[in-house]
Amino acid sequence: MAEPQPKYNIICLSNQLWDFPNWTNKKHVMTRLAKQGHTVLFVDPPINAGRVFLRQIIRGLWGIKRLLTQTKKDDTSALVYTPINLLPVADLTSKMHVSRINELAGNHFDPARKTLLWIYHVEIPGIRHYIDNLDYDLLIYDCVDNYESFPVYQTEEAKTRIRDQEGYLARKATLVFATTPLLVEKLKAFNKNVFFTPNVGDFDKFKNVQQLRDTIPEELNSIPHPRVGFAGALDEYKFDMNLLKLLAKDHPNVSFVLIGQLALKDKGTSSGRLGIGTLPNVHLLGSKPYEILEYYYAGFDAYMIPYQLNDYTVGGCFPVKFHDALSAGLPTVVTNLPSYLPFKDVCYISRNYEEFSRNIKKALAEDSTEKIRHRREVASKNSWDSKVQTMLGYIKANL
């Protein structure tokens, strides 16, 4: 009989808020760990006491108790701590946040368990204070992006700064997880214990979308078939709007449905701003909570991920939405990112605009029960539960 998996205390330093409207790989992993009985302290990125903070209060995300403690309990039993920067001095505020995290951990954690410091937030100001002064037994760097290629790091000075910070974290870590082969290759320059842990999908959430076809939201139900969907941020540095325009013109009888926020900002999308206001078969539905996305996937006939090919996407991008679409059985058309190569038999990889356009037509024309079954079979082997178990195996072997 196999030995039972030990339970851990986990401090997760995230680079996205727990209340972010669409679930991310960080929240997927941490909620599953909490449900398995691990004790999770999820640390949001520090938030400045300004407009973003005020917007959260207006949205009702901060009650009196949370304002006083800067914490809240999730329904998975994870404790969420949102540090507030009252002063614009990163060196001072990071020390204050470290002290508060240690205090919360002391009250919340089981002293008989080993503690993991699980860092996603390589960009966090004062990262050395966290690494040097938090109490933990094992340090994990979970790398899910090619950070130096973010648009915010445009100058060589800025790129060097984030490279140095990432190198420091990777060298200090006991384990490094990376979601793409190129990230693995890059991080092995700093640490020999780098493990490929690709992004996966929520198979259980999307596997039964056929049963939801009588409950498709009206705003989608009123759009003509065939519908090719996309759900995610419409970021300028990822989403290829020029490709979308070509697709809309090449396939005037296909409805292209976009679900997501413009540039990850808390504002409504605008077809005029995106330059697609004159395309009658492009439909922007705005952002939807991840919790209800399966009802929209149930109304799609195919799925697309029209990402640009650049240093960010090629070097470090493996969209979570890819396996969600396969879980729903949807024929999925993608651009030629290295992350998709192992799945070439269950998706349509497109090397250029013209091939992407041809693949849209092909995906809609040749879909079948057998192809749907094959996609779901692959997706079932690439679920969040399986990824978490793989990660726990690496952790157990290194503690």
Pick the CATH number of 8-200+383-398 from 3.40.50.2000, 3.40.640.10, 3.20.20.10, 3.40.50.970: 3.40.50.2000
pLDDT (tens digit per residue) in 311-334: 888 888 899 999 999 999 999 999
- Which strands, in side-by-side order, build the sheet including 8-13? 71-73, 79-81, 39-43, 8-13, 114-119, 138-143, 175-178, 194-196
338-360 average pLDDT score: 96
Give me the residue spans of the domains in the chain.
8-200+383-398, 203-380
* Six-digit token string for 359: 């693949």
- Which strands, in side-by-side order, build the sheet including 348-350? 282-286, 255-259, 227-231, 302-305, 332-335, 348-350
140-169 average pLDDT score: 91
Q: What's the confidence (pLDDT) of residue 266?
A: 38
Which residues contact residue 231 at a Cβ distance below 8 angstroms, ignoring those fewer than 6 apart? 22, 259, 260, 288, 293, 296, 297, 321
Assign residue 264 a region: left if phi > 0, alpha if psi is -120 to 50, beta otherwise? Answer: left
pLDDT (tens digit per residue) in 95-146: 999 999 999 999 999 999 999 999 999 999 999 999 999 999 999 999 999 9
Give the rounded percent of residues in the chain with a pLDDT score beyond 90.
74
Class at the top of the CATH hierarchy for domain 203-380: alpha beta
pTM for the whole structure: 0.91
Mean pLDDT taken over the chain: 92
33-48 average pLDDT score: 95
Q: What's the confidence (pLDDT) of residue 50?
A: 81
